[in-house]
Chains A and B, each alone.
Chain A
Amino acid sequence: MKKFMLDLIVKKNETLNNQYSLLILTSPEKLPEMLPGQFVEVRVDNSPSTFLRRPISINYVDYEKNELWLLIQIVGDGTRKMCELKEGEVLNLLIPLGNSFSLPENKAAKLLLVGGGVGIAPLLFMGSYLKERGYSCSFLLGGRSKDNLLQLCEFERFGDVYTTTEDGSHGERGFVTQHSLLNGSNFDLIYTCGPTPMMKAVASYATKTGTNCEVSLENTMACGIGSCLCCVTDTTEGHLCVCTEGPVFNITKLKWQI
């Protein structure tokens, strides 16, 4: 897939709460084609402590409105600067980067998308993509409290939504892997993105139940395009770059101790 360096325009910057913002970007030109699971590398200007680009997942693409959505969690200066962007300002991106989630051949496959924290970002795009192609899926989303559960209305457009919070303020109390949904049902394929301990717990559930499972990794990156070899993860094929061979990996390829 051809990659581009583009200046996109901030159409809207919606503060979701004091930790999260939704950036809606657009362009006078047609946005390039993108796949769910892919990400962009954002150049952050006017932040002296932010030297390298920041990798951010593609949260959603609305081709009709020519919109690209990025869901940002503030963790440091780079993400804070992104959340302070004003309407009309320009953001320079490398786009689209990385591989994508795979599609099962069987349209009747039972699909579960498990997300935690800001890791839900790529799952929204995946949900819309699946629905458009005639698949049906369920979402299981977790957070520390209800403030960390984002875009629930958006997710509901594309499938059933189940939630867990650690403090019980929304959905079932506990971690995603403790949700009752996982007791009864058998899924054919699980896609997951979130904090590493959560993804490992999901991978462990999938391994135990013999379920096919894809995870999206968030290793720190410098180039985002496979040239620096800084972002590697250990796999059955040796060190592979998360930015080009990933971010999505089937758990059977990873050397996780689960």
Chain B
Amino acid sequence: MANLNINIGKLQLKNPVLTASGTFGYGTEYSDFMDISRIGGIIVKGTTLRDRQGNPYPRMAETPSGMLNAVGLQNKGVDYFIENIYPTVKDVDTNIIVNVSGSTIEDYIITAEKLNDLDRIPGIELNISCPNVKEGGMAFGTSCISAAEVVKRVRRAYKNDLMVKLSPNVTDISEIARAVEAEGADSVSLINTLLGMAIDSEKRRPILSTITGGLSGPAVKPIALRMVWQVAQAVKIPVIGLGGIMNAADAIEFILAGASGIQIGTANFIDPTVSIKVIDGINDYLDRHGFKSITDIIGALE
């Protein structure tokens, strides 16, 4: 049994496996299938200041080895989260992290402030990379200036762990990572979805109501892995890698590329218990290769 404990920024995790925002609900949707407290951390749905209905149906298109989504941050708002959802998840023995999104910087700040005082929420993931909303979202994450500005202002307002989720839809992701590091981000997570499109040739129409959407799943893994490797070399804060992880071998590739933790997204839809299998698989890998701790293989690419 290797030591899987890892500290990432201000977070203390029992293992490096987290579930990605928007793909694991609030965690409780999965508790029929497994003991969700075994997961290192659960990043809940994208949460905004006010209630959002999201985009019209259809919001999903299956693609080769992946999927496009255009959910558009449907959620009932941060106050609803605090009053109705927090009580149902606060006793789960894992790190519950809230993914925060907004249309304006003020939205981000107020939402983060409201989450400051929840004892059992050790951190937030700042989503400056959602490709599916008209205002805000990815717009903040695709320029160094606006990414730095939103992180700076939220950093002043939020005292616990601040993970910043980066968009791959940029020319140089390392620059953005450095910009948010300079403003006090505790860690960066990447990648959010890649902007894509699907067309129904029979109907001569786009499949998604929004025409474009975010691509995820194994199709994006090589791009995600390359970006994690680049960012890990560019910043000193920890990097959390995600994009197309389907099994323990995929997860270990990200860790070798420099990630201190990994997130599992789309794979939860195919196997709701995949995160547990990845945790066990990482442990087996460490034992098999004679490593005592997960920290021995972070960035250990030869």
Binding site for B on A (CB under 8 A): 2-5, 43, 48-49, 51-53, 94, 219-234, 238-239
A257 to B242, CA, bound (A): 42
**Whole-angstrom distance between the Cβ of A4 and the nearest chain B Cβ:** 7
B63 partner residues in chain A, CB cutoff 8 A: 51
Contact of A222 among B24, B29, B64, B69 (CB under 8 A): B69
Residue of A nearest to B207 (CB): A220
Top 9 A-B pairs, shortest CB-CB distance: A227-B25, A230-B60, A3-B32, A223-B269, A227-B29, A222-B269, A229-B71, A230-B59, A229-B74
B196 contacts A by Cβ under 8 Å: no
Cβ-defined contact, B57 with A225, below 8 A: no
A226 lies within 8 A of B59 (CB): no
Between A and B, 11 residue pairs with Cβ closer than 8 Å are A3-B33, A43-B271, A48-B64, A51-B66, A51-B217, A52-B67, A225-B272, A226-B25, A229-B22, A238-B53, A239-B54
Centre residue among A49, A219, A223, A228 by max chain B CB count within 10 A: A228
The answer to whether the Cβ of B273 comes within 8 Å of any Cβ in the partner chain is yes
Closest to A94 in B: B272
Q: A residues within 8 A CB of B60? A: 220-222, 228, 230-231
Q: Report the separation of the CA atoms of residues A143 and B29 in the bound assembly, to the nearest whole angstrom.
A: 37
Residues of A within 8 A of B53 (CB): 238-239
B59 touches A53 (CB 8 A): no
Question: Cα distance A4–B34 when bound, in Å?
Answer: 10
- CA distance in complex: A83, B270 (Å): 20
Instruction: Kindly state whether residue B201 has any CB partner on chain A within 8 Å.
Output: no
Q: Let me know if B80 is at the binding interface, CB within 8 A.
A: no
Pairwise interchain contact A232-B67, C-beta atoms closer than 8 A: no
Smallest distance from the beta carbon of B265 to chain A beta carbons, Å?
Answer: 10
Residues of chain B at the chain A interface (Cβ within 8 Å): 22-25, 29-30, 32-33, 45, 53-54, 56-60, 62-67, 69, 71, 74, 217-218, 266, 268-273
In the complex, which of the residues B24, B56, B57, B270 contacts A52, with contact meaning CB atoms closer than 8 Å?
B270
Q: Closest chain A residue to B72 by CB distance? A: A229
- Docked Cα-Cα span, A48 to B24, in Å, equals 24
Chain B interface mostly helix, strand, loop or mixed? Answer: loop
Interchain nearest-CB distance for A80 vs B (Å): 15
Report how far A222 CA is from B61 CA in the complex, Å.
9
Q: Which residues of A contact B57 (CB under 8 A)?
A: 219, 231-234, 239
A228 touches B32 (CB 8 A): no
Query: How many angstroms from the CA of A250 to the CA of B71 in the assembled complex?
Result: 24
Q: Which residues of chain B are within 8 angstroms of A52 by Cβ–Cβ distance?
A: 62, 67, 269-270
Residues of chain B within 8 A of A230, CB atoms compared: 59-60, 69, 71
B-chain residues with CB within 8 Å of residue A3 when the two chains form the complex: 32-33
User: Which residues of chain A are near B66, meaning CB under 8 Å?
Assistant: 51
Contact B32 A227 (CB under 8 A): no
Select one of B25, B30, B45, B58 contacting A220, CB under 8 A. Answer: B58
A228 surroundings in chain B (CB, below 8 A): 22-23, 60, 69, 71, 269
Q: State A227–B65 Cα separation when bound (angstroms).
A: 20
A230 to B193 alpha-carbon distance, docked (Å): 15
Query: Cβ of A48: which chain B residues have Cβ within 8 Å of it?
Result: 64-65
Contact B54 A229 (CB under 8 A): yes
The complex places the Cα of A8 from the Cα of B206 at a distance, in Å, of 37
Q: Looking at the assembled complex, report how far the CB atom of A82 sits from the nearest CB atom of chain B, in whole angstroms.
A: 16
Q: A5-B33, A52-B62 are in contact. Are A227 and B56 (CB under 8 A)?
A: no
Report yes or no: B54 in contact with A234, Cβ–Cβ below 8 A: no
Distance of A51 Cα from B63 Cα, bound (Å): 8
Contacts of B30 in A (CB 8 A): 225, 227
Q: Are A49 and B64 in contact (CB-based, < 8 A)?
A: yes
Question: In the complex where A223-B269, A228-B23, A230-B60 touch, is A51 in contact with B65 (Cβ < 8 A)?
Answer: yes
**Which A residue's beta carbon lies closest to that of B54?**
A239
Minimum distance in angstroms from B28 CB to a CB of chain A: 10
**Distance in Å from the Cβ of B196 to the closest Cβ of chain A?**
14
User: In the complex the two chains form, what is the Cα distance from A214 to B267 in whole Å?
Assistant: 33
State how many angstroms separate the Cβ of B107 from the closest Cβ of chain A.
20
**Contact for A232 among B23, B54, B272, CB less than 8 A:** B54
A114 to B60, alpha carbons, bound, how many Å? 29
Query: CA of A220 to CA of B23 in the docked complex: distance in angstroms?
Result: 16
CB-defined contacts of B71 to chain A, threshold 8 Å: 228-230
**Additional A-B contact list (5), CB under 8 Å, known A51-B64, A232-B74:** A51-B62, A222-B269, A224-B269, A233-B57, A239-B57
How far is B272's CA from A124's CA once the two chains are assembled, in angstroms? Answer: 29
* Chain A CB within 10 A, most for which of B57, B271, B273: B57
Known: A232-B59, A234-B56. A43 touches B270 (CB 8 A): yes
Nearest A residue (CB) for B24: A227
Q: In the complex the two chains form, is A229's CB within 8 Å of B59's CB?
A: yes
CB closest chain-B residue, reference A244: B29
CA distance A239 to B73 in the complex (A): 12
Name the distance in Å between A8's Cβ and chain B's nearest Cβ. Answer: 16
